[in-house]
Amino acid sequence: MTAAPEGSGGFGARLTAAMERHGRLCVGLDPHPGMLTTWGLNDDASGLREFGHRVIAATAGRAGVIKPQVAFFERYGVSGMQALAEIQREAREAGLLVIADAKRGDIGSTMAAYAEAWLDPESEFAADALTVTPFLGFGSLAPAVEAAARHGAGLFVLALTSNPEGQQVQLAAREHVTVAEQIVRAVAQADTGREAGQEGLADIGLVVGATTASLAAEHGIDLTAGPMPILAPGYGAQGATAQSLRAGFGAAYPQVLVNASRSILAAGPAPKALAEAVERAAAELR
């Protein structure tokens, strides 16, 4: 069991407060083996823990959100997942919002089990939000939407990702409406328990690649259809800049939470250099 970061209300309210205080930077926690080696850490669970501890120390107070990539912990088996649980708990206790980047997607009781594993505050893997995939049909995510509402948590639904092959599915259209647009519309209608007149971001948001944001406008996809938070990976090492993000997202830019991973992690392992990299990225995105 872990305490939620400071702030109250649902995920959207907590994210709104975090972005107002710290800006729109989300730091990706991606401990792939090459990064561990570069940092002089063991390629095992102890290396994961030390890596996570250093990233959290550099991020807390400088950005409001951290995003562990679950796959880099799963590859170490039970010990890796134990390390992830500890890191997420440490991050939340440090006042950071945690987005578990697990990209879960299934149907019925299986989707419900995934949601409880990641969104229940009593779970060992308790996170503030979870990335999910809607390509079994958006309706398949209903158990996760319900769990998010019950636990005051959030979801980020894949909509328009940066990998080129994703466009084969996401930009496929029926009656001139793309799959991505259908997902955006569904997310806009799925906000959990939002009261009339409530301001700030919704609890259910989108994942739109930082390098593919312009495709939304090109294909008539309205990212401002609701107050949906938009998680945008791809800033820095993958080529997106602060300027291109503003241009690509246009009117939706105030909703965007920008993830940076390699461009920040490459500054480590020295704590001072890592903290300075977080500060630079946060300043560029303000």
DSSP 110: H
| The two three-digit tokens of residue 124, written as one number | 């060992």
Instruction: Provide mean pLDDT across the span 38-61.
Output: 98
Q: Could you tell me which residues come within 8 angstroms of residue 106 by beta carbon, excluding any fewer than 6 positions away?
A: 114, 136, 140
pLDDT confidence band for 71 (50 / 70 / 90): very high
What pLDDT, on a 0 to 100 scale, did the predictor assign at position 259? 96
| pLDDT of 1 | 46
pTM, two decimal places: 0.95
How far apart (Å, rounded) are the C-alpha atoms in residues 200 and 211? 25
Task: Kindly report the average pLDDT of the chain as a whole number.
Answer: 93
What is the band of 219 on the pLDDT scale with cuts at 50, 70, 90? very high
**Residues identified as active-site:** 103
pLDDT (tens digit, 9 = 90+) per residue, 9-34? 799 999 999 999 999 999 999 999 99
201 pLDDT above the threshold of 80: yes
Q: How far apart (Å, rounded) are the C-alpha atoms in residues 211 and 232?
A: 9
Q: Is the pLDDT of residue 92 over 90?
A: yes
Q: What is the pLDDT of residue 196?
A: 58
Of 36-50, 170-184, 228-242, the range with the lowest mean pLDDT is 228-242
pLDDT digits 0-9 by tens, 129-150: 999 999 999 999 999 999 999 9
In this structure, are residues 143 and 111 in contact, taking their beta carbons and an 8 Å threshold? yes
Q: How much of the chain, in percent, has pLDDT values that exceed 90?
A: 88
- According to the model, what pLDDT value does residue 8 have? 60
For residues 144 and 117, the answer to whether their CB atoms sit within 8 Å is no
Q: What pLDDT is stored for residue 191 in this prediction?
A: 77
Instruction: Give the Å distances, CA to CA, from 210 to 104, 153, 266.
Output: 21, 24, 19
Convert 180-209 into a string of H (helix), E (strand) and C (coil).
Answer: HHHHHHHHHCCCCCCCCCCCCCCCEEEEEC
Q: How far apart are CA 284 and CA 286, in angstroms?
A: 6
pLDDT digits (tens, 9 = 90+) for 144-181: 999 999 999 999 999 999 888 999 999 999 889 999 99
pLDDT of residue 6: 47
pLDDT confidence of 83, banded at 50, 70, 90? very high
Distance CA 102, CA 105 (A): 9
The residue ranking higher by pLDDT, 195 or 52, is 52
* Interatomic CA distance for residues 183 and 200, integer angstroms: 21
pLDDT at 107 over 80: yes
Domains and CATH numbers, the chain: 11-285 (3.20.20.70)
The contacts of residue 270 (CB under 8 Å, 6+ apart) are none
